[in-house]
Chain A
Amino acid sequence: MTRALSFETVSISYGRGAQTFTAVDSVSLRLEPGEILGLVGESGSGKSTLARAAVGLVEPAAGSIRLGDTVISRATGTDLRERRRIQMIFQDPQSCFDPRRTIGESLDEALVSAYRREGEPCPSRQARAARVGELLDSVSLPGERAASLPAELSGGQRQRVAVARAIAAEPEVILADEITSALDVSVQGTVLNLLRELQRDLGFSVLFISHNLAVVRAVCERVAVMRGGRLVEVGETLRVMESPDQEYTRDLIAAVPSL
């Protein structure tokens, strides 16, 4: 059973006093269970900050974030554990794995955290190693890769392992923050197909943050457009792409270079 992730008039600001910068300005957005929602906007529009607030990397100054009925913003105790049901995949495959730990160790860490969250006893080392093998298999990487260091993998392979790490935590929601923008276009398809397949099989929902409208159009059912910290437009992807309500959305679409 998965739950909806909802942002309710969330505002997030950095700095204090006169230097306060509002990165997200009273945004309300609902990610339905099992859907892929695109979130587009230019740099500084607040789309990444919004996602980081959902996993607790920043705390909102106002408003609340809920997973189902549980308030997970400014959470403590058991509610905090609920927040681990939301996982994030980062943009830069260079820096999203500890360069000194093998792929297997990084995945194992995710597994152990998931068991601890559930309060279940942690299975034996062998059982976890077998699960790491399954995880790698689910992102179409050979099990021997568990012994590799991140540097021995290509950017696309690393991003696939990042997907595996996210699903190791048995998430209800995955926040994908520009996960293919640092990759070559030739491997972008592999990562996105994989994410879509897993999403279909496991039923988690995805907040797909991207500045690439063509990719968002191909992957997402609905799309939200942000500008300057505010939510400009939300709707069915095809409807928004073909007849946007807002002039800003129209400008964004017009700026997409075409083949």
Chain B
Amino acid sequence: MTTSRRLLAALRTPLGALAVLACSALLFLVVFGPLLWGSSAAATDTTAIAQGTSPEHPFGTDGSGRDILLRTLVAARLSVTMALAATAVGVCAGIIVGLLPLILGGRIGRWIVAGINIGVAFPGLLLAISFSVILGQSGFAATLAIALAMVPSYGRLTHNLAASVWGRDFISAAHVLGVPVWKTVLRHVLPNVRDPLIVNAAVTAGNALVSFAGLSFLGLGIQVPQYDWGRMLSEGMSRMFVNPAAALVPGAAIILAGLTFVLLGEVLGVALGTGNHGSVIARFHRRLRARGAADPTAASAPVTDTAGVSADTPGASTVSPRHGKGASSHPETAVCSVRNLRVSAPGPKGEPNDLVRGVSFDIGRGEIVGIVGESGSGKSLTLMSLAGLIESPLHVSADAAHFDGEDLTLRADGHPRRLDRHFGEKLAMVFQDPMSSLNPALHVGAQVAETGRLHLGLNRAQARDRAIGRLEDVRIPEARRRFGQYPHEFSGGMRQRAMIAAGLMGTPSLILADEPTTALDVTVQAEILALLRRINTEVGTSIVFVSHDIAVVTSLCTRVLVMYRGHLVENVSAEDLRAGRADHPYTRALLATVPTMSTPRDAPLASIPDGADFLAEASALVEKEAP
């Protein structure tokens, strides 16, 4: 979605509309306030000095008999423009200071970063007050003081954002091409950190407004005869008990104007795509989407367009295992079986967009089943939905799902009702990146043992003993000592072993593995594959192994499911696959593209061209055979 479209969408939410309304009101006051009421707000009236609320003066008058309400409206121009001017200067200076360390590099760069860090240690308002005292008592000095006080925090923000972009490959590419550093920074870094900086500038403007009012309140900012909200607040405070409105009205103006800026930041954040997921508007959108996605597809009822989809996708839901030795095709005896599993994501207009399109299969006891396919084929989503790990806004539905003889009815949100208690006991999961699936702040052993305490009802000592036993089972040397180590002290392969050990705390009937060896070196990969094979033969655990690497899958698995664009196109024994016996044209094409140690060296490598559509090809084949 483009930024302008996102902006329009953000403005259509209640908060967005409110932000527009508040900003226009503020803009109107800034532009027209002094023109409309300037003279009447300045008119002194000696007959009405320091009066309370009256029909002529709804919020009373000040010490010179001037109307509080009119003065508050007129003061908007000075308060807001000064705050914006301070923000503009402070933000620009902050961005420059934040980018300089990258441009200058080396020792000077490090000194600048150290300077920023020292500056951030002082509270912003304290800095503003100190600068203001040094620079003298005037509106201009106060603006400059606030701008200067903003520089360290904004510089730090810019530097942090820029440093995260600095490590990316396109910066290295520019360096290799010989693009000058300052050009790289302006051309590649700044545009990529722009959005969060804009959003933060809006919020910073709100803070500047409050700080400015604070300085004026202390008598450091705007001087008589000019007045802003801070000045009015300080004048009103002395008569707080005579006419509270004299202090409360400018105070309320400060709060409302500050909120307007924060609101603007929030809306910009959504529009620019930097809004964090906890923001109010993001939550509102998620709820809307979730509602939209949940409505058309009720729990386990068949989806209305199922018939249409499976008709034009030959074999999508009708693929049955060929030559599947030991593969049970009966849902009752299978460890796990699903019928017509679908996963959909809401499209840009809320219409469901199918990612997994009606997949049915059984996992027999003691089987190792591989799921292969290229990225985006839906293989990981299929695995995640087996584990009940699909989160909103994605939506799962299935005609039937069984795990270990138990019927898993899906709840309205697409999650299986009774899967949770199987986790750790009968179902284990291994993810691709063991560094992110293990908590870096906790001992590895504690995380392995946790499964035992949580799901098996063991006490601390029992869980510890069993965890050490399991770590030994997966061949982690010195398991007792390793138990108390942190994940970063483990190698990649050992972390993956520890994850598998955690899965083995119970007696799982099924291990779900999502690309468990993709992040590992080949020699380590071979060890993990051997470990999984051993668990399978010794304990009889079934394994579903998702991978993009068809060579890994055929070397480990007994049966292979091939997925293509959300469809299950092939369900074949690994033996047949190794012999090149595959039905679907996609499987055959995929097999041909895998380079092996006997691939001819002079001929071009086989590949699948950009626009190939194997679903169409397969249906053409079926039609040809039919008459």
Contacts and interface: CB of A to CB of B under 8 A. Distances in A.
A109 B179 contact: yes
B521 A185 contact: no
B551 A257 contact: yes
B599 A214 contact: yes
A120 B48 CA distance: 80
Contacts of A162: 173
Contact of A117 (B178, B521, B591): B178
Contacts of B595: 185, 188-189, 212, 214-215, 217-218
B525 A255 contact: yes
B177 A113 contact: yes
Contacts of A204: none
Contacts of A165: 173, 177
B593 A98 contact: no
Interface stretch (B140-148, B388-396, B605-613): B605-613
Given A165-B173, A257-B551, A258-B596, A252 B523 contact: yes
Interface stretch (A1-9, A11-19, A86-94, A129-137): A86-94
B28 interface: no
B501 to A, nearest CB: 22
A70 to B, nearest CB: 15
A98 B605 contact: no
B191 A184 contact: no
A62 interface: no
A193 B594 CA distance: 14
A100 B551 contact: no
A36 B517 CA distance: 28
A97 interface: yes
Interface in B546-560: 548-552, 554-555
B610 A157 contact: yes
Contact of B607 (A87, A114, A190, A253): A190
Contacts of A254: 526
B589 A186 contact: yes
A257 B172 CA distance: 33
Nearest to A165: B173
A99 interface: yes
B597 interface: yes
Contact of B170 (A96, A184, A252, A257): A96
A152 interface: no
B522 interface: yes
Nearest to A241: B597
Query: For the side of the interface on A, what is the size category?
Result: 35 or more
Contact of A259 (B170, B172, B525, B591): B591
B160 interface: no
A184 B525 contact: no
B549 A257 contact: yes
Given A55-B176, A109-B177, A113-B178, A211 B608 contact: no
A95 B601 contact: no
B176 to A, nearest CB: 5
A258 B596 CA distance: 7
B555 A184 contact: no
Contacts of A110: 177
A258 B173 contact: no
Contact of A57 (B172, B590, B610): B172
A110 B170 CA distance: 12
A213 interface: yes
A81 interface: yes
Interface string B249-286: 00000000000000000000000000000000000000
Contacts of B523: 42, 251-252, 255
Given A57-B176, A259-B551, A186 B607 contact: yes
Contacts of A258: 551, 555, 596-597
A42 B521 contact: yes
B175 A57 contact: yes
A56 interface: yes
B482 interface: no
Contacts of B439: none
Given A42-B522, A189-B604, A193-B604, A213 B178 contact: no
Given A43-B521, A57-B172, A189 B554 contact: no
Interface in B573-627: 577-578, 589-591, 593-597, 599-601, 604-610
Nearest to B172: A57
B608 A187 contact: yes
A222 interface: no
Interface string A144-165: 0000000000111100001001
B622 to A, nearest CB: 22
Residue of B191, B522, B591, B596 most packed against chain A (CB within 10 A)? B522
Contacts of B551: 256-259
A98 B176 contact: no
Contacts of B597: 213-214, 217, 241, 253, 256, 258
Given A98-B192, A217-B599, A84 B176 contact: yes
A88 B173 CA distance: 7
B533 interface: no
Given A97-B170, A212-B595, A251-B523, A257 B552 contact: yes
Contacts of A37: none
B590 A95 contact: no
B218 interface: no
A187 B521 CA distance: 22
Contacts of A239: none
Contacts of B175: 55-57
Q: 4 smallest A-B Cβ distances: which pairs?
A: A189-B607, A189-B605, A184-B374, A186-B608
9 contacts: A57-B175, A95-B170, A98-B170, A101-B188, A155-B375, A189-B606, A256-B522, A257-B526, A258-B596
